[in-house]
Amino acid sequence: MAVSIQHANEAKSNADRELAAHFEPKSLRTFTPTQAVLAKSAGVYHWTPEGRKLFDFSSGVLVANLGHNPSAWMQKFAGYMGWSDTPWRGRDEYFSGLPLTAYNALTPIETQASRRLAELLQSRPGGNRLQHVMWAASGSEAIQKALWAAMARDRSRDMIVATRFGFHGKKGLAGAVTGSEIDRERDPRVRFIGFPMKECADVSMRDQPFDPEPYRLELDALKHQFGRKLNVLITEPYIGGGGSYHPHKPYLQTLQKFCRDNDIVFILDEVQSNFGRTGDMFAFETYGLEPDIVVLGKGLGNGVPVAAAVGLTSLFGSLDYGEGSDTWSANPLCCAAVLATLDEFARGNVLENCRRSSAILERGLVKLKELPFVAQVRGEKGGMVWGVEMRDHAGKSAADWANAVVLTCYRGEGNLGIHLLGPLAKKVVRIAPPLVITEAEAQQAMELMYRVLAVCV
């Protein structure tokens, strides 16, 4: 049995941690020094069973972009499901409403969600190619389906190009294009190319000149080696799980041009960056791209598990009946969540609020570099995701400092703390609150973070 993490003055939380350790394997979750137990959530806050209030600086891994349990979203969600208090024809053991599952059948809510999502994407700069929606139950599953579609267009072209140190999933082809060639035994069809990490190691480097030529030469070498065998290239707009690296626009545009020039499908994995994280609705807008397929997830359902690959009709038409199906895709529950999310963004103030609060958060994060154990801050200007990288200091490793930051912020001051996930790449702490965090909340959170971390020096 795994040993549970325990914290002083958290009897109720500690009991839940012990139960989890007794009945669940530790592999079910990633490591974090806090293992927070969340009793309830609202807006940008969580509460522990002991009543401690925590700023949510993870959004459940960039999922709750609209905050937790927003009332307008919840009302829309229930309305789309058709839930009511009226039993069905006197049968008090049933309520009327849409089915929770509709495998191999259509519901009006599915077709409505597909139409509205495709129309939204096509209305954005760079969304011209995003025509057909292939639903999935998770981001990695949607990646898998996007790759299947790309490979099916010409089954004699079986080579996949992926950018190094991205995270696309843990299973199947999604796992095969994750990380780099040295991580594990790889699918022989996958080849990796460099991602500019040194060139985008801190927000201070945003305006520095960037030369994409080395990356273009790397692509040309692959073309020389494999020629027409190259079929598809997949990348994230920014590296997320690998340490939060946000590239200059010419890098991604170089990848896209290579794909266009060589009839290679360009897949942009926006599972974690969609719906506002880069300051625009979609990251392809931020970076001036026009992907053949974009993969969406996380914030798409604001907490309900749903994902989608959206792309050229001709690509998805390469798959026959059943080749992209599964039990949970396009179920009414997910489609209702997507429609409620689209409604909230259509109200027009989410991105504007995000950009205002973003400036406050970034100033506060940059100020953390005054602390000797903070090395770099990376993120999107006007967006709502950053990585704060630690350095070795005072006999402690960068990894130790990263864990200390997570734990110190959780403990906070008195009844108020900050919830963070375990470090990325062992030494990078991700900052990603809901987009709806107000300017006042952002200021309060950053002041709290600086005060508690300054004591660590």
pLDDT of 54-64, one tens digit each?
A: 999 999 999 99
Vertex 184 angle, CA 268 and 139, to 5°: 30
Question: Mean pLDDT, to the nearest integer, of 406-434?
Answer: 97
To 5 degrees, how large is the angle CA 59–CA 408–CA 4?
80
pLDDT at 88: 60
pLDDT per position as a tens digit, 213-246: 999 999 999 999 999 999 999 999 999 999 999 9
**Structural domain for 331, as ranges:** 108-346
Is a pLDDT exceeding 80 seen at residue 96? no
- Residue 95 placed within a domain: no
Mark which of 315, 346, 377 sits at the end of a domain.
Answer: 346
Q: Which residues pair with 390 in a beta bridge?
A: 374
Tokens of 280: 């625009």
Tell me what pLDDT residue 367 has: 98
**Overall domain count for the chain:** 2
DSSP code, position 282: S
Contact 436, 64 (CB under 8 A): no
Q: Are strands 265-269 and 87-88 parallel, antiparallel or unpaired?
A: unpaired
Is residue 386 domain-shared with residue 431, that is, in the same domain? yes
Residue 1 pLDDT > 60: no
pLDDT for 439: 98
Distance of alpha carbon 218 from alpha carbon 212, whole angstroms: 10
Question: Minimal CA–CA distance to 366: which of 383, 351, 352, 386?
Answer: 386
Predicted pLDDT at 348? 79
The confidence score (pLDDT) of residue 456 equals 86
Q: Which of 276, 311, 346 is the last residue of a domain?
A: 346
Residues 141 and 195 in one domain: yes
pLDDT confidence bin for 340, thresholds 50/70/90: very high
Q: pLDDT class for 457, splitting at 50, 70, 90? A: confident
Q: Cα separation of 60 and 170, whole Å?
A: 18
Mean pLDDT for the stretch of residues 94-102: 84
Residues 336, 357 within the same domain: no
User: Do residue 137 and residue 279 come from a single domain?
Assistant: yes
pLDDT band at 87 (very low <50, low <70, confident <90, very high): low
Reading phi first (left if > 0) and then psi (alpha if -120 to 50, else beta), residue 247 is in beta
What 3-state class would DSSP assign to 49? coil
Phi-psi region of 232 (alpha: psi -120 to 50; beta: other; left: phi over 0): beta
Averaged pLDDT, 333-337: 97
CA angle 75, 80, 84 (to 5 degrees): 70
Give the confidence band of 199 by pLDDT, cuts at 50, 70, 90.
very high
Residue 61 in any domain: the answer is yes
Q: Which helix (H) or strand (E) holds 363?
A: helix 350-367
The domain boundary, picked from 346, 363, 392, lies at: 346
DSSP structural state of residue 209 = -
Written as six digits, the tokens of 326 are 């599964």
Please report whether residue 211 resides in a domain: yes
Total-model pTM? 0.96
In the predicted model, is pLDDT for residue 328 greater than 70?
Answer: yes
pLDDT digits (tens, 9 = 90+) for 11-47: 999 999 999 999 999 999 999 999 999 999 999 999 9
Identify whether residues 146 and 191 lie together within a single domain. Answer: yes
Q: Which residues pair with 416 in a beta bridge?
A: 53, 413
Both tokens of residue 128? 């011209």
pLDDT of the residue at 182: 85
In 3D space, the residue among 318, 264, 303 whose CA is nearest the CA of residue 70 turns out to be 303
pLDDT digits (tens, 9 = 90+) for 254-308: 999 999 999 999 999 999 999 999 999 999 999 999 999 999 999 999 999 999 9
Phi, psi (rounded to 5 degrees) for 359: -60, -40
Residue 94 confidence class, pLDDT cut points 50, 70, 90? confident
Is residue 100 over pLDDT 60? yes
